Amino acid sequence: MVRGEEELFERTAHLFATAGEVACAANDLHTWAAARRRRSGTARHPATLRVRKIYRPGVLLDPATARHLREVAEAGADIRITAEEINETIILDRRLAILAGDLAAGVRGYSVVTVPEVVQGVCSLFEAAWRGATELAVYESRFAEIRLLAPRILDLLGSGCKDETAARRLGMGLRTYRRRVAELMAALGATSRFQAGIRARELGLV
């Protein structure tokens, strides 16, 4: 167990530097921020390095974040999006797994696992999530409309106006509006409209 990203990557930087395969699953770009900073000095991934990343749809709501993901994909990484819950994980060469824990007093804990049987189990979970996820470009084309509507929907949700009023202001039917709200909640990983508002503020969307 290690505490905080800096300690984590001080201890594992040499493994990232020599890895031939990296698999990553995260809800957003903040969990593995230290890893991203360490790799920011390299414009492209080495040709021998295979990188696969899975994210939740919420990362596409912010244009800057979406642009960053496209740049990473252009640099050679395979990126997919899933609406399903995922375990925030990094796997190096199928020999080491880093599992993100919860925040405590503003600091996240991480479990670094090398036991082969456990790492294999984590790899199996990642592969299942990978198979069920959608390629970034494909998902983005489907997601474009909800991303454009997101700020307005969030404003209407925050104002407390009724669905009928919100739908009318957006120029859409009530059923369509409610479907868009449900899609936005799924993208934010929220189970309620209140939680969606909190999550949106955390992401800087409102």
Q: How far is CA 108 from the centre of its chain?
A: 16
Binned at pLDDT 50, 70 and 90, residue 124 comes out as very high
Instruction: Give pLDDT, residue 40.
Output: 46
Q: What is the pLDDT of residues 78-109, one digit of tens each?
A: 999 998 888 899 999 999 999 998 878 778 89
Residues of the chain with pLDDT > 90: what percent? 42
Rounded to whole angstroms, how far apart are CA atoms 150 and 185? 10
Instruction: Give pLDDT, residue 11.
Output: 87
Instruction: Give pLDDT, residue 151.
Output: 85
Q: What is the pLDDT of residues 180-195, one digit of tens each?
A: 898 888 877 788 888 8
Angle at 199 between CA 164 and CA 104, to 5 degrees: 155
Whether 160 contacts 102, CB under 8 Å: no
Instruction: Give pLDDT, residue 190.
Output: 82
Task: Reply yes or no on whether the pLDDT at 147 is more than 90.
Answer: no
- Bridge partners, residue 79, by sequence: 53
Whether 137 contacts 74, CB under 8 Å: no
DSSP state letter for 109: E
For the chain, list the domains and their CATH numbers: 2-132 (3.30.870.10), 144-202 (1.10.10.10)
Task: Reply yes or no on whether the pLDDT at 35 is more than 60.
Answer: no
The two structure tokens encoding residue 164: 């009928």
Angle at 179 between CA 64 and CA 61, to 5 degrees: 5
Binned at pLDDT 50, 70 and 90, residue 6 comes out as confident
Rounded alpha-carbon distances, angstroms, from residue 108 to 38, 51, 125, 196: 18, 24, 22, 22
Whether 158 contacts 201, CB under 8 Å: no
- Tell me phi and psi for residue 61, to 5 degrees: -70, -35
Mean pLDDT of the chain: 85
